[in-house]
Amino acid sequence: MNHFAEFLSDGPLVSEVFTDKSRIYEAADVIQKLYLIAQELPTGKFETAKKKITDKYYMIENALIHEFKRAHMSGDRDRMKEIASTLSHFKGYNQCVNAFIEEAQIGSLRSRDIFGEVVPLCLKSDTLIREVFTNPEQVMAKFVIKIFQEQLKDHIQAKLEHKNSPDLYLSNLYDLYSKTNRLCTELQGLNLGSDSQFLPRLTKQIFQQHLSSYISIETRYLKEKLKIILTRYYESKGHQKKIIHSGGINEIREKIQDVISSKANINIGSGVENYGGETFLSEEVAISLLQETKHAFKRCQMLSTQSEVHNNAVEIFDLLTKSLLVDHVDYAIELGLQTIPGGEVRTPPELSFFQVVQQSSSMINLLDKLFNDSLVPLIISTPKHGESLQRKKQLMQTLERKLDMGIDKALTAICNYACQRVVRWVSQTADKLKDSLDGNNLESVLLELGLRLHRVIQEHLLKFEYNNNGAMAVICDVNEYRKCVASFKQPLVNTLFDTLHTLCKLLQVPPENLKLVCSGDQLVSNLSV
């Protein structure tokens, strides 16, 4: 009460507790208690005393903070601990903590490897904090907050200024976010309190605006990048991409053209362009497209939230399938189909379509691997998994159907060409025989040649299975053979080829009508012979 009475008087403080600087801890203890008492005093006659106590309270508080800074700079840990303990009862205790953090971090985190500096700095400071402060967890948490909200945030924002260069921006965003997450993992060894979301929350505060717009930047960049890769490839080939209308009227027109050409020995279509055997497929291009997408998947996994990662991953994969399978593979298949001649083939057919088949299959396998390795892990437990499998299956089936159609068309062209070569060779041989032989010798040789030719052709035809297009090609080929051997003027040979031609027609008869057709007069007549 003597000290309180001194504050009630009008004169200056004369007690040695307040005038002797060496007794600052004692003065701090007294003024702290007086300050609490003063808060309970009624207004009025005690206003002057309350003001004097408050002024002295803040004066001693500031003096202690100043002494704390001096002790910190000189490395006097014992004095720091004593002052911190005293200040822990003062309102300005946080100023002491802030002063410590400011001094501990001054001059630090200035190098290019700021992430590499954080953990050593925190570990070093954590040891000192535990020696000095009575609440080390809270102090260490504030220490980390300052690093994240100031130095680290400034460094990250400076690195992410290049939004006009999406390639660099996405690369930096992935790198910085990865490093920040690794830093958080390393900092978990420090005792930062019981809040498990403390470090993730600090990270989110820094990256939130970038993560929220990530997928739109990613997909826009990836779409443009994939387009550039394809454009450069076609430019390197000197090829201007064509607009190809597949299916519908185009397929009907081609089928009509093939039938008329085969039966009438004319070609109603324009000349077939074979592009010099170029397939317009490149494994290097495919690998580049896949590699860009693989990088995008890697960023997607790191930068997407748990609730959005499956949607984002599917969006990325859809861009790849359009670019690789539709714009590259399907386009090449369509061009390849156009290189296969229909109807009568007068020159050796271009066989580059078989290369298209091989290269397409290889690229489809590469895409399948990326699907399983990169996409599936991100969508496996979501409805997107089944949806993506179904879409991929439908697209693959479309490509496989076109490849099968092309293979069949190419084989038909090959067989037609082979037929023409055989007919030409047999006709030339028959002419030579007629020039060299006569009488019974000529008749016997032509009969034997016709019989052997029939046997070879029949045995060859029995080795295969036929679809509708193949059946039509065989019927046309056998008809050409029949016309060729007619010049032999051998009734038995003519009958055998007529029968073979009739049997070939059965290949186009539906199974349910086969019995009815076989009982027809013409077929029975031919087969009975």
Residues 223 and 204 in one domain: no
Residues 107 and 253 in one domain: no
Residues 221 and 317 in one domain: yes
Domain boundary among 160, 190, 211: 211
Domain boundary among 161, 187, 211: 211
Task: Determine, yes or no, domain membership for 428.
Answer: no
Residues 319 and 350 in one domain: yes
Task: Determine, yes or no, domain membership for 238.
Answer: yes
Task: Determine, yes or no, domain membership for 305.
Answer: yes
Residues 6+ positions from 61 with CB-CB distance below 8 Å: 28, 87, 90, 91, 92, 95
Q: Residue 20 is which amino acid?
A: D
Task: Determine, yes or no, domain membership for 64.
Answer: yes
Residue-wise burial string across 396-426, b where 16 or more C-beta atoms lie within 10 A, e elsewhere = eebbeebbeebebbbbbbbbbbebbebbeeb
Residues 153 and 205 in one domain: yes
Residue 360, pLDDT score: 94
Residue 421, pLDDT score: 80
Residues 286 and 320 in one domain: yes
pTM more than 0.85: no
Residue 269, pLDDT score: 41
Domain boundary among 211, 228, 255: 211
- Give me the domain span that covers residue 470: 437-528
Residues 17 and 81 in one domain: yes
Map tokens 């002052």 to a residue: 83
Task: Determine, yes or no, domain membership for 243.
Answer: yes
List the pLDDT tens digit at each of the 529 positions of the chain.
455 556 656 656 656 566 566 677 777 777 777 777 776 666 766 666 677 777 788 888 888 899 999 999 998 999 999 999 988 888 888 999 999 999 999 888 877 889 999 999 999 999 999 999 989 999 999 999 999 999 999 999 999 987 789 999 999 999 999 999 999 999 988 888 888 899 999 999 999 999 999 999 999 999 999 999 999 999 999 999 988 766 544 554 555 555 544 444 444 444 567 788 889 999 999 999 999 999 999 999 999 999 999 999 999 999 999 999 999 999 999 999 988 877 655 566 677 888 899 899 999 999 999 999 999 999 999 999 999 999 999 999 999 999 989 888 877 776 676 777 888 888 888 888 888 778 888 898 889 989 999 998 999 889 888 877 678 778 888 988 999 999 999 999 999 999 999 899 888 888 888 887 777 655 555 555 4
DSSP 394-442: HHHHHHHHHHHHHHHHHHHHHHHHHHHHHHHHHHHHHHHHHHH--HHHH
Task: Give the 3-state secondary structure of 255-290.
Answer: HHHHHHHHHHCCCCCCCCCCHHHCCCCCHHHHHHHH
Task: Determine, yes or no, domain membership for 157.
Answer: yes
User: How many domains are contained in the chain?
Assistant: 3
Task: Determine, yes or no, domain membership for 418.
Answer: no
Task: Determine, yes or no, domain membership for 340.
Answer: yes
What is the biggest distance separating any 2 CA atoms in the chain, rounded to whole angstroms? 159
Residues 152 and 108 in one domain: yes
Eight-class DSSP state of 242: P
Written as six digits, the tokens of 412 are 């038909």
> Would you tell me how many other CB atoms lie within 10 Å of the CB of residue 194?
7
